[in-house]
């Protein structure tokens, strides 16, 4: 095979010889246990980023558990997936070299019972204390049904937050039940007065078992599951899932469907990011500054309903394209509505930033340093606001993005203000992209029929919050393993770093400037 850039780190290793290309420009490389540490070192030295780590059982006829390490190299289209078998449910941890592995490994530990040796954090992740000790839901032998939860939790199994000691250190527990109508998440602050010394985020209070639910279902049925991963990333996730299935079968989808998918993806980005910028204004108590954004968001949601019959665009994306065509007159309405949009948006944007108080609140608040982006695999607007040029639409173009490239704005600040600016830019750029796509939208069918074949594929999309990664493994016509890694899952780590040194009342603003999805984390 040709030697893509991502493989340079594997030079001279045995596993390079056995590497084989996947269905979607990813490269699988089975690794021998003896060679594994050297390869991890080489990848770390070359600045590769661990973007996901997942596990599959009885993969391609091999008994037992196989671990998949997905690596990305900046500016390189291919993703390298190291395959490693976890013999005896034990494996060495890579979290020291790749900190983003911390949550990944804990997730795999909970799901499959693999013990990672040498990890700096071995606590449970998505299985809270109430689940019994030997329960590992993603193992094939665990049936997908109700289990008996522990009634009494022994003291030693209780979740231990990282202690912080010292005079005047005080812990503030916040959540998982909040005063507003928001999703559940627990934030444990260690503070001295108002400044935050440490924050630990604990999620997964509403873990739904999405990955287990998908197993044994036909790919068509799974589209609904993908849509339900996170409400405001419906299109992104369903498109990512469908793309994976289409690539496995080697199917091509009609050009009209490809373009319309991009329109819907960008519509989703617009309303999702509009909510973010509005939320930032609300959180500094600037309600009159936020309301124009909310009005625009509502108008976009109504456009969505006109286009697809659903405000959140559920039930339109299907395997092979779209489940139904979008009415031509609604597309024309959308195009003319979007002509008025930028002016209104810029007015709203300027009114927020013309207030010295809001600029003061945004400026240098919640700093995400650039050096954190790769080790923690931060993605999306957060990474772009910290000066890193990544956007899955440009780096690994898919669908219509192969011909329609967004202009990506990079800010160096890493603070709330930078994120506000990056998100604002992306809203306008999405409007731009939609207009370009609508200008020469080809006629024709929106769906192609094909037989779904068995196989596996990794697909990535740029959701509003960053890169979402889906890995689908179809065996005997049904989904055998479905792994989803959303942008939120990784980006929660950013918040733990961003708040340090800030004061407690600034936390909601920092949180909103990232606006991560809890549902997208509690899969």
Partner 1 sequence: MNWPFLIYIFVNAAFALLISPFYMSLIKKIKAWTQRRKGPPLFQTYYNIAKLMKKEVVYSSNSSWIMRTTPYANMIAVLAAAMFVPLAFVPQGFDGVGNIILFVYLLAVARFFMALSGLDAGSTFGGMGSSREMSLSAIIEPTTIVVFAALAFTFKTTNLHEIFTETAKFPAFVMNPSLFLISIPLFLVIIVETARVPVDNPETHLELTMIHEAMILEQSGRNLALMELSSAVKQTLLTGVLVNVLMPWGLATEFTLQAILFSMLAFFAKAAAISIIIGLFESALAKIRLFLLPHIFMLAFFLSVLAILLEVF
Binding site for partner 1 (CB under 8 A): 172-174, 178-180, 194, 281, 283-291, 295, 355, 357-358, 360-361, 503-508
Least distance in Å: CB of 195 to partner 1?
10
Phi, psi at 423, each rounded to 5°: -65, -40
Cβ proximity to partner 1: between 115 and 299 the closer is: 299
Cβ proximity to partner 1: between 237 and 511 the closer is: 511
Cβ proximity to partner 1: between 507 and 518 the closer is: 507
Q: Could you tell me the CA-to-CA distances from 217 to 148, 224, 462 in Å, in that order?
A: 25, 11, 26
Cβ proximity to partner 1: between 2 and 181 the closer is: 181
| Strands 321-322 and 317-318, bridge-based pairing | antiparallel
- Report the distance separating Cα 472 and Cα 168, nearest Å: 50
Least distance in Å: CB of 205 to partner 1?
17
Q: Provide long-range contacts, Cβ within 8 A and 24+ apart, for 133-139.
A: 133/157, 136/110, 136/111, 136/112, 137/110, 137/111, 137/209, 137/212, 138/55, 138/57, 138/111, 138/112, 138/211, 138/212, 139/57, 139/111, 139/112, 139/113
Q: Nearest CA to 464 among 396, 521, 515?
A: 515
Cβ atoms of 76 and 131 closer than 8 Å: no
Burial environment of residue 55 by CB neighbours within 10 A (0 to 12, 13 to 18, 19 or more): buried
Least distance in Å: CB of 282 to partner 1?
9
Cβ proximity to partner 1: between 266 and 283 the closer is: 283
Instruction: Tally helices (H) and strands (E) across the chain.
Output: 16, 15
Least distance in Å: CB of 51 to partner 1?
32
- Report the distance separating Cα 148 and Cα 418, nearest Å: 47
Cβ proximity to partner 1: between 154 and 163 the closer is: 163
Cβ proximity to partner 1: between 351 and 435 the closer is: 351
Least distance in Å: CB of 400 to partner 1?
36
Least distance in Å: CB of 281 to partner 1?
7
Q: Strand pairing partners for 171? A: 190
Least distance in Å: CB of 516 to partner 1?
16
Cβ proximity to partner 1: between 302 and 324 the closer is: 302
Cβ proximity to partner 1: between 147 and 182 the closer is: 182
Can you give the C-alpha Rg of the chain in angstroms?
A: 23
Least distance in Å: CB of 504 to partner 1?
5
- Report the distance separating Cα 250 and Cα 39, nearest Å: 31
Residue 428's SS3 state is helix
Least distance in Å: CB of 48 to partner 1?
37
Least distance in Å: CB of 170 to partner 1?
9
Residue 84's SS3 state is strand
Through-space distance between the first and last CA atoms of the chain, rounded to whole angstroms: 36
Cβ proximity to partner 1: between 178 and 475 the closer is: 178
Residue 364's SS3 state is coil
Q: Is the preceding peptide bond at 176 cis, omega within 30 degrees of 0?
A: yes
Q: Could you tell me the CA-to-CA distances from 319 to 298, 476, 482 in Å, in that order?
A: 29, 17, 15
């Amino acid at each position: 095979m040709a030697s893509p850039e991502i493989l340079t780190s594997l030079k001279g290793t045995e596993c390079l010889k056995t590497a084989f290309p996947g269905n979607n420009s990813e490269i699988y490389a089975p690794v021998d246990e003896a060679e594994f540490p050297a390869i991890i070192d080489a990848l770390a030295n070359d600045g590769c980023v661990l973007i996901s780590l997942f596990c599959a059982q009885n993969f391609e006829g091999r008994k037992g558990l196989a671990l998949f390490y997905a690596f990305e190299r900046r500016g390189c289209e291919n993703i390298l997936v190291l395959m490693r078998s976890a013999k005896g449910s034990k494996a060495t941890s890579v979290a020291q070299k790749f900190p983003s592995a911390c949550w990944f490994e804990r997730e795999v530990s909970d799901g499959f019972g693999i013990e990672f040796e040498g990890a700096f954090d071995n606590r449970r992740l998505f299985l809270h204390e109430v689940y019994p000790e030997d329960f590992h839901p993603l193992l094939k032998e665990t049936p997908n049904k109700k289990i008996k939860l522990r009634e009494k939790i022994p003291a030693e199994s209780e979740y231990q937050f990282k202690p912080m000691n010292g005079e005047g250190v005080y812990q503030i527990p916040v959540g998982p039940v909040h005063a507003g109508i928001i999703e559940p998440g627990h934030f444990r602050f260690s503070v001295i007065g108002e400044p935050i010394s440490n924050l630990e985020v604990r999620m997964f209070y509403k873990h739904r078992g999405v990955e287990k639910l998908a197993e044994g279902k036909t790919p068509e049925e799974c589209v609904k599951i993908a849509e339900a991963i996170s409400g405001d990333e419906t299109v992104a996730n369903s498109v990512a899932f469908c793309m994976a299935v289409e690539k496995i079968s080697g199917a091509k989808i009609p050009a009209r469907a490809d373009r319309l998918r991009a329109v819907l993806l960008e519509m989703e980005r617009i309303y999702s990011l509009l909510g973010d910028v509005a939320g930032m204004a609300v959180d500094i108590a600037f309600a009159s500054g936020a309301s124009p954004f909310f009005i625009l968001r509502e108008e976009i949601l109504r456009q969505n309903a006109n286009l697809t019959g659903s405000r959140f665009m559920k039930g339109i994306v299907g395997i092979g394209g779209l489940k139904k065509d979008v009415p031509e007159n609604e597309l024309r309405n959308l195009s003319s509505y979007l002509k008025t949009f930028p002016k209104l948006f810029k007015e709203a944007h300027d009114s927020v930033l013309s207030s010295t108080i809001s600029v003061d609140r945004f400026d240098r608040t919640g700093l995400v340093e650039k050096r954190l982006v790769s080790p923690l695999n931060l993605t999306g607007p957060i990474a772009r606001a910290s000066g890193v040029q990544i956007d899955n639409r440009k780096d690994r173009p898919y669908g219509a993005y192969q011909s329609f490239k967004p202009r990506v704005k990079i800010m160096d600040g890493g603070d709330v203000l930078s994120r506000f600016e990056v998100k604002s830019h992306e809203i306008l750029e999405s409007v731009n992209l939609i207009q370009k796509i609508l200008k020469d939208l080809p006629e024709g069918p929106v769906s192609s029929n094909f037989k779904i074949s068995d196989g596996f594929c990794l697909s990535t999309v740029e959701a509003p919050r960053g890169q979402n990664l889906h890995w689908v493994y179809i065996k005997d016509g049904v989904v055998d393993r479905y792994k989803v890694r959303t942008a939120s899952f990784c980006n929660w780590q950013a918040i733990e770093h961003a708040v340090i040194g800030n004061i407690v009342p600034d936390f909601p603003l920092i949180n909103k400037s990232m606006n991560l999805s809890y549902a997208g984390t509690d899969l």
